């Protein structure tokens, strides 16, 4: 597996030199300065790629070319945005950048309620607390009919939680949920997110799934022409937020996406943390079933709680069988090599990391994207990969 590293461009506090020192050979990055829906110009792609190459690194995966909300709704200026998306894929392919991660989450991208969850060793992790989220949805955002989306027990617990919050805690919770996390698509104020949610109110799961299939039908031919593979990222968390539909949360969702547009360019990102936040997702079985369609991997671990809450653990701890997942992925790589696949090696990155040491209290560090936390995770994952491959060679 190719070791890669998420980099947020020249303004990132992590330098390209540090990425090389971490041992990664590939970079996962995006042209975040380009407005969602606009074409990624060839020259802009070349400039970023050249910068990486000059520093001894490869632009391995694009994460992400964002999908405009008009495309997800199939209204407004969606046709122009689809045309732009096609051209961006063609431009990336022309520069030899073959893997594009994207998501189809409506309104909110990846979501957490606590960005500094204190662990026993005094490091901090990302957490999604269900009661906090419901308290925000019902009592702060005051979304219409929000309470009807939850059980009476959940509503009662959220009311108690809200009653115990001070004004500063409420403001921080709102900022964590709607202000936008690293790599996500934009941010909202309270009225803005209410309007965005309302736009999706009537579309439903079937409507969003149909619009995803139509989007793929529109762009996969361009991806095939460019030699590019699209790898959809799962919903994070993999269940409904704000009553919004989710269509990339389960093995059945992944199966439906692959079967909807049969093409080597229509693939998946296996995010262990996202899919793994549901206990009904067997990640090793998913790798075994969907292996030929997996073009990118996020390796992280989580601890699930009975009400849907979770927090991000050490990479080799938690509820996901990381060793089993890696072993299954390495088997997929072996099968690809036997079949002379042009994309035999699967790029992975250590997804998120705890804030440790001096980075814990550094406000410039992006939540989940500390250097030392990810460095620790990459070293642990590298050890697993090395051990499995060494034992396999010895027979």
Asked if residue 345 is part of any domain, the answer here is: yes
End-to-end CA distance of the chain: 20
Indicate whether 96 and 38 sit together in one domain: yes
CATH number for 267: 3.20.20.150
| Within a domain: 28 | yes
The one catalytic residue in 85, 295, 351, 354 is: 351
> In this structure, are 299 and 367 located in the same domain?
yes
Same-domain status, 215 and 364: yes
Say whether both 238 and 333 belong to one domain.
Answer: yes
Among 141, 175, 194, the domain-final residue is 194
Q: What is the pLDDT of residue 201?
A: 84
Say if residue 158 is in the same domain as residue 297: no
Residue of 298, 311, 315, 354 with catalytic role: 298
* Within-domain flag for 183: yes
Indicate if 270 and 383 belong to the same structural domain.
yes
pLDDT at 38: 98
Taking the model in full, what pTM does it have?
A: 0.95
The whole domain housing 286 covers: 2-111+204-394
pLDDT in tens, the chain (395 residues): 999 999 999 999 999 999 999 999 999 999 999 999 999 999 999 999 999 999 999 999 999 999 999 999 999 999 999 999 999 999 999 999 999 999 999 999 899 999 999 999 999 999 999 999 999 999 999 999 999 999 999 999 999 999 999 999 999 999 999 987 777 776 788 999 999 999 998 899 999 999 999 999 999 999 999 999 999 999 999 999 999 999 999 999 999 999 999 999 999 999 999 999 999 999 999 999 999 999 999 999 999 999 999 999 999 999 999 999 999 999 999 999 999 998 999 999 999 999 999 999 899 999 999 999 999 999 999 999 999 999 988 87
Is 38 found in the same domain as 171?
Answer: no
Active-site position among 68, 315, 352, 354: 352
158 and 233 fall within a common domain: no
Co-location of 163 and 177 in the same domain:
yes
Q: Quick check: is 199 in a domain?
A: no
Clarify whether residues 107 and 168 are in a common domain.
no
Q: Is 101 a catalytic residue?
A: no
Total structural domains within the chain:
2
Whether residues 28 and 15 share a domain: the answer is: yes
**What string of H, E and C letters represents the secondary structure of the chain?**
CEEEEECCCCCCCCCHHHHHHHCCCEEEECCCCCCCCCCCCHHHHHHHHHHHHHCCCEEEEEECCCCCHHHHHCCCCHHHHHHHHHHHHHHHHHCCCCEEEECCCCCCCCCCCEEEEECCCCCEEEEECHHHHHHHHHHHCCCCCHHHHCCHHHHHHHHHHHHCCCHHHHHHHHHHHHCCCCCCCCCCCHHHHHHHHHHCCCCHHHHHHHHHHHHHHHHHHHHHHHCCEEEECCCCCCCCCCCCCCCCCCHHHHHHHHHHCCCCCEEEEEEHHHHCCCCCCCHHHHHHHHHHHEEEEEECCEEECCCCCEEECCCCCCCCCHHHHHHHHHHHHHHHHHCCCCCCCCEEEECCCCECHHHHHCCCCCCCCCHHHHHHHHHHHHHHHHHHHHHHHHC
Does residue 33 have an active-site annotation? no
Q: Could you confirm whether 233 is annotated as catalytic?
A: yes
Quickly tell me which residue has 């991208």 as its tokens. Answer: 109
Task: Decide if 333 is inside a domain.
Answer: yes
303 classed as catalytic: no
Question: Does 69 reside within a domain?
Answer: yes
- Clarify whether 369 is annotated catalytic: yes
Tell which of 194, 223, 239 closes a domain.
194
Q: What is the pLDDT of residue 158?
A: 98
Question: Is residue 94 situated within a structural domain?
Answer: yes
The pLDDT of residue 181 is 72
Within a domain: residue 128? yes
Whether 171 and 247 share a structural domain: no
| Set 101, 137, 233, 235: catalytic member | 233
Of 271, 275, 311, 315, which one is the catalytic site residue?
271
pLDDT for the residue 188: 87
Among residues 16, 22, 96, the alpha carbon closest in space to that of 61 is found at 96
Pick from 141, 169, 194: which residue ends a domain?
194
């Amino acid at each position: 597996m190719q070791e890669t590293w998420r980099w947020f461009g020249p303004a990132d506090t992590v330098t390209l030199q540090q990425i090389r020192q971490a041992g990664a050979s590939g970079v996962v990055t995006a042209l975040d300065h380009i407005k969602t829906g606009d074409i990624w110009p060839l020259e802009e792609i070349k400039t970023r790629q050249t910068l990486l190459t000059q520093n001894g690194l490869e632009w391995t995966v694009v994460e992400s070319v964002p999908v405009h909300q008009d495309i997800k709704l199939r209204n407004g200026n969606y046709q122009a945005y689809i045309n732009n998306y096609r051209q961006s894929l063609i431009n990336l392919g022309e520069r030899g950048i073959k893997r594009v991660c994207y998501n189809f989450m409506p309104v909110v991208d990846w979501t957490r309620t606590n960005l500094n969850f204190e662990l026993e060793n005094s490091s901090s992790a990302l957490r999604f607390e269900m009661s906090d989220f419901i308290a925000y949805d019902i009592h702060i955002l005051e979304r219409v009919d929000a309470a009807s989306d939850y059980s009476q027990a959940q509503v009662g617990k959220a009311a108690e939680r809200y009653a115990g919050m001070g004004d500063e805690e409420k403001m921080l919770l709102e900022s964590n949920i709607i202000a936008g996390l690293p790599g996500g698509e934009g941010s909202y104020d309270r009225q803005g997110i209410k309007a965005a949610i309302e736009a999706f109110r009537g579309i439903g799961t079937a409507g969003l799934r149909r619009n995803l299939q139509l989007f793929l039908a529109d762009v996969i031919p361009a991806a095939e022409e460019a030699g590019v593979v699209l790898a959809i990222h799962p919903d994070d968390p993999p269940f409904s937020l704000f009553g919004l539909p989710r269509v990339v949360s389960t093995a059945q969702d992944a199966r439906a996406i692959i079967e909807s547009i049969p093409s080597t360019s229509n693939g998946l990102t296996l995010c262990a943390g996202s899919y793994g936040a549901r206990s009904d997702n067997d990640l090793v079985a998913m790798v075994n079933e969907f292996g030929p369609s997996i073009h990118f991997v996020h390796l992280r671990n989580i601890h699930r709680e009975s009400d849907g809450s979770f927090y991000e653990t050490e990479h080799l701890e938690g509820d996901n069988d990381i060793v089993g997942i890696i072993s299954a992925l390495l088997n997929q790589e072996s099968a690809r090599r036997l079949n002379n696949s042009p994309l035999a090696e699967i790029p992975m990155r250590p997804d998120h990391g705890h804030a440790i040491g001096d980075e814990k209290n550094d406000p410039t560090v992006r939540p989940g994207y500390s250097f030392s936390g990810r460095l620790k995770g990459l070293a642990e994952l590298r050890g697993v990969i090395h051990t499995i491959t060494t034992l396999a060679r010895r027979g």
